[in-house]
Structure 1
Amino acid sequence: MKCKSSVRWYDVTSCGYYKHGETAAPVFGDISSMLAELVHFAKGKKLAQTRLLGSDDTLGTYLAGISSHDGVYVISLWNQVSGDTSNAVKSLPEDALVGQAKAVKTKIAKGNIPGYPTYFVVLPAEGVVGTLKVRDNVPGLDAFKRYANEFLSTSTRQTVTKLAKGEVEILGYRQSKKDEIAKLHPRMVLQVRRDKDRAAYIRENAEKVRKVVRSRTLNVLANPSDFTLWQSFLKAVGMSSKHAGKHEMHVKHQVDVNNDAPAIIALVDEHEHTVVPKDNDFGFVFTGQSEPHWLSNALCNTSFEIDVPAVNGVFLASDLAVKIAAKKAAIIATL
């Protein structure tokens, strides 16, 4: 199945075990060693066993798969949802092995975890992590960062623990068994990779902006404020207040501006880290031009098509890794 895909890239600015109060360099660890630990952790485990020690979320995040090919890693997380047992939803069997779990779409059965997948591409040699969007899945960056930090804190071979009164106590961390246990701070931090020249261009030419275009995808069934806004758009054009029954509606609207550079710069500053092409974006039309300069273009994104099989809309990390690795050179050229 050919799928339109895109990756938003983030620089790995910290990854490993740090002395408290220090951020410059870890005592040990990096993104490559964290990936090696994840691969070791996942080997032979069932999906249910990958919910991490210390995770106090009511709904769990699970490691559905991790696979590498030619220096490209793909990580798949399964994000649990509170499913309605009367309706068919996607779920994974909790006793399926990591990397082999295939999604089913039925009424929730005992022993299945309802949820949705999120996918991440890691290029350790380039020091970047990307949120992979295949077709219509959500990026899920926050869950990835939370999982990675919990993993470094609780579940690597560098974590030293003991059982005390029926609970696991973390004593500290050491690079190898011959080293002394140290009180260190595990941390993985990502920072969005940007094309600084593009954002700077909008700021430097803010006084020339004559129109601001807002592009949004409204979740009209789940978000009351989005539903209200959608209804106001329909009313403004004289259409029925009933929507078409779709979960999401894409809207685009624009306003004229006149020599308001401070407001334009403030708009860029506020939203440059959160824009998403089409779904949540701002375009700026300059005097003498007709096409908008989209703020999302200031972020480092890579788009491509891959032909990859899916089961009930869910992809295996191993399949994704092979297909994305085939485009590795072209992807690195966009970074």
Structure 2
Amino acid sequence: MEEAKVTFYDVERCGLYEYGSDDSTLGELSTFLNQLKSWVQRDGKSLDETCTYAIEESEDVDRTFCYDLVNNGVTGDFVLTTWNETPSYEGKVAAVKAKSKVGDAKVEFTKIPKDSIPGYATYFWFIPSKGVFATIRFQHRLNGKKNLDKYFKEFISKFSDYVVLSEDGDADFNIIGYSDSDDDEPMNLHSHFRTAIVRKPGQIKYILSQRSNIRKIVRHNRLSPKLEESQEFWQKALLNLGLKKQRKLNSEVNFSYEFSYSPTEKELKEMVSEWEEGHDSKWDDIGFILKGEQVPRWLSNSLARDQFDLDVKRIDEEIVDAVSLLEKLTEKRDLILALLE
């Protein structure tokens, strides 16, 4: 039995669109998932041929590959396992000794097996009938969702069955448009795969309605050694504890603090709005303690997210078997989908 962290996302746009249109001209989520399944299995394709995009220097995502894709013919659900590449240099991955002194850390290199791709697996449960998907996290903190957005959008635009190619041009393949059949004139369309975390408005509405009863605010956050403001906050926290010697923050630290405060209507709305822009981690959360209550009402409770025990099978320490995962998700489908209500 393993603990699976499930977070739901709405699929707001998925398909090939005319410029300026809000409605897809060609394709929908289930169609593209079936097309992706056919594409990755076509002609004995190897895993390293399943990345759908090239890396641009300005981008902060590495390559993503399809490790596995399975579906349930009854529910219409899919489980997609992606393999997310991690940086390497000339066939080696670098690491530093954790206890090294700052400025004098020894770097060690581990050779990657020939023709291997260093990385980690992530899992996605698609429910096309609901227009949603969920990230399923096991041992990793990263859910791969940012990579998925790019992977799927690029698949739609380059490799879906709607792509019309021309033999003219200098590129390896030249896309001249999109059509539903060989007899149709190619259309000038562009791909979209836009998603957003599912938020349930009830909790936030209640907090806003109880503004005058808020007596304390609690904040969960995570300090990162990469951020200057985190380093400053860390030093101030040490001083408040009576530790005057400066100690550099070398790893991420989770912390909480609370204070008595009754926000104005404008302040409360600004706090909620700022948090809603992209905070989906329990360690980036705001809670409000109301008069007569001792337990905070967390903004994160408005997210369609929870943890479930799944009796999945593992292929090895890194990979959960996709068929097993889909079977166990199907067994608890109604229970898990209750998060959307």
The question of 1:37 aligning with 2:41 is answered no
Report the 3-state secondary structure (helix = DSSP H, G, I; strand = E; otherwise coil) of the residue aligned with 1:216.
Answer: strand
Pick closer, same or farther for the CA change 1:218–1:3 going to 2, 3 Å.
Answer: farther
The aligned counterpart of 2:107 is: none
Cα deviations by residue, 1:308-329 (Å, 9 ceiling, x for unpaired): 2252333243332222122112
Aligned-pair distance for 1:165? 1.6
Range moving further from structure 2, 130-139 or 145-154: 130-139
Q: Give the match for residue 283 of structure 1.
A: 287
**Cα distance, 1:137 vs structure 2:** 3.2
Q: Structure 1 residues 181, 319: closer, same or farther in 2, change over 3 A?
A: same
SS at match of 1:27: strand
Name the residue aligned to 1:130: 134
Instruction: Decide whether aligned partners of structure 1 residues 114 and 215 sit closer, same or farther in structure 2, where only a CA change above 3 A counts.
Output: same
Instruction: Tell whether 2:205 aligns with 1:196.
Output: no
Pairwise mapping of residues 42-53 of structure 1 onto structure 2 (< 5 A)? 42-43=40-41, 44-53=44-53
Give CA deviations for 1:149-177 in whole Å, capped at 9, x if unaligned. Answer: 11100011211123422442211111222
RMSD, aligned CA: 2.6
Count of paired positions: 315
Q: 2:83 aligns with which of 62, 78, 97?
A: 78
Show the counterpart of 1:210: 215
**Structure 1, gaps ≥5 residues long:** 90-105
| Change in 2 beyond 3 A, CA 1:166/1:15 | closer
Spell out, residue by residue over 1:222-241, the C-alpha distance to the aligned partner (whole angstroms, 9 max, x if none): 55544553444334223576
**C-alpha separation between the residues in 2 aligned to 1:307 and 1:218?**
34
Tell me the residue number matched to 1:21: 20
The SS at the match of 2:24 is coil
Instruction: Give the structure 2 partner of residue 94 of structure 1.
Output: none
* 2:87–2:93 Cα contact (<8 Å) kept: no
Q: If each structure's strand is expressed as a fraction of its own residues, which one has the higher value? A: 1
Name the larger-Rg structure: 2
Q: Which amino acid aligns with 1:311?
A: D
5 Å-filtered alignment, 1:103-114, equals: 107-114=111-118
Of 158, 165, 179 in structure 1, the residue corresponding to residue 184 of structure 2 is 179
CA distance in 1, matches of 2:272, 2:295: 18
Residue of structure 2 aligned with 1:255, choices 249, 259, 265: 259
Gaps of 5+ in 2: 97-109
Distance 1:204 1:303 in 2: 29
Contact 1:61 1:147 in 2 (8 A): yes
Cα separation, 2, equivalents of 1:131 and 1:318:
16
Poorly superposed stretches of 4+, deviation over 4 Å: 86-89, 222-225, 239-245
TM-score calculated relative to the size of structure 1:
0.84
Three-state SS of the structure 2 residue aligned to 1:330 is helix
Q: Match of 2:173, SS?
A: strand
Contact 1:217-1:279 within 8 A present in 2 as well: yes
Counterpart residue type for residue 8 of structure 1: T
Mapped partners of 1:36, 1:223: distance in 2: 42
The question of whether the paired residues in 2 share the 8 Å contact of 1:53 and 1:155 is answered with: no
Question: 2: distance between equivalents of 1:277 and 1:179?
Answer: 47
User: Which whole-Å CA distance do the structure 2 matches of 1:74 and 1:108 have between them?
Assistant: 28
Letter in 2 for 1:21: G
SS in structure 2 at match of 1:112:
coil
Alpha-carbon displacement from aligned partner over 1:152-210 (angstroms, at most 9, x marks no partner): 00011211123422442211111222332111222122233221111111122223222
In structure 2, the partner of 1:265 is 269
Q: TM-score normalised to the size of structure 2?
A: 0.83
Q: Which amino acid aligns with 1:45?
A: K
CA deviation after TM superposition for structure 1 residue 8, in Å: 1.8
Deviations along 1:75-114, one digit per CA (max 9) or x if unpaired, are: 122222213626589xxxxxxxxxxxxxxxx642231112
Which residue is equivalent to 1:153?
A: 157
- The answer to whether the Cα contact below 8 Å between 1:203 and 1:265 also exists between their aligned partners in 2 is yes
1:271 partner SS: helix
